[in-house]
Chains A and B, each alone.
Chain A
């Protein structure tokens, strides 16, 4: 924990304990989504599924990256991840993205995916609103994640035919163009 790193946020008027609760819930949602998206990607097969598989993979890897980017900030602010992963999964800020009853039904699959992304957008929009102009570092991390979650929603939404966004898939799987700069241990 950085003493001044937390102090400046408190003095700017942010309730750091409330913020930490939201960051831990967000990190948990990213971690559990990484798990569930693995199952969704594995089951994305057939004529429709093969086209969906690659964007599930991009979103899956980027959600893991979001977890990686959030975790140091939680500790910097004096928080910690739960010691028990079961407790961690239980505090996830979004519902679990379960494999649908009929995994061959890509509309059901897409519905799970797009709703998960919409929940993530709401989560980071809230954190951005809470930290804007006060906690610059958390705000920048949350904003970078928000950029990617909005792109994820657009990918899945377009697959459902809900309208174009102008986005295209990543050049490399899970490239995280917005969040990458916060994954400092991974940058060579």
Chain B
């Protein structure tokens, strides 16, 4: 386990995200329904940073193409829900975000980025 200190809890109000880049590793933090989540900070669709991503309920919305990911699982929600399964090349755009284990100590958010 290699937990890395990322941010103060109060830096991410409910319904907000924060993009951090500890040791050159982009991470997107999200505060959803009382929980803090940490996920890969790069959208796997086109490898764009998720800096400025908006949270719609439990979905992180990439600011570049509006691909949406479930903060709890990292799975793509949109456009997975509309992409036709008979076009397999599209499925490669729908890779999930990695979800990192999170712990909070003394108001600091830590995530295991290993």
Contacts and interface: CB of A to CB of B under 8 A. Distances in A.
Interface of A: 25, 92-101, 111-112, 115-116, 119, 122-123, 126
A188 to B, nearest CB: 36
Interface string B81-106: 11111110010000000000000000
Contact of A94 (B65, B83, B84, B90): B65
Nearest to A116: B82
B67 interface: yes
Contacts of B67: 95
B81 A111 contact: yes
Given A98-B87, A100-B84, A101-B85, A115 B79 contact: yes
B29 to A, nearest CB: 20
B66 interface: yes
Interface string B38-65: 0000000000000000101000010111
Nearest to B56: A122
A123 B83 contact: no
21 contacts: A92-B65, A93-B65, A94-B65, A95-B67, A95-B78, A95-B79, A95-B82, A96-B79, A97-B82, A98-B90, A100-B82, A100-B84, A101-B84, A101-B85, A101-B86, A111-B81, A115-B78, A115-B79, A115-B81, A122-B61, A126-B63
B66 A93 contact: yes
A95 B85 contact: no
Contacts of A100: 82, 84
Contacts, number: 45
Nearest to A125: B54
Contacts of A101: 84-86
B66 to A, nearest CB: 5
A94 B82 contact: no
A119 B85 CA distance: 21
Contacts of B81: 111, 115
Contacts of A116: 82
Contact of B66 (A98, A99, A111, A119): A119
Contacts of B79: 95-96, 115
Nearest to A95: B79
Given A92-B65, A94-B66, A99 B78 contact: no
Interface string B10-45: 000000000000000000000000000000000000
A98 B65 contact: no
Nearest to A114: B82
B46 to A, nearest CB: 9
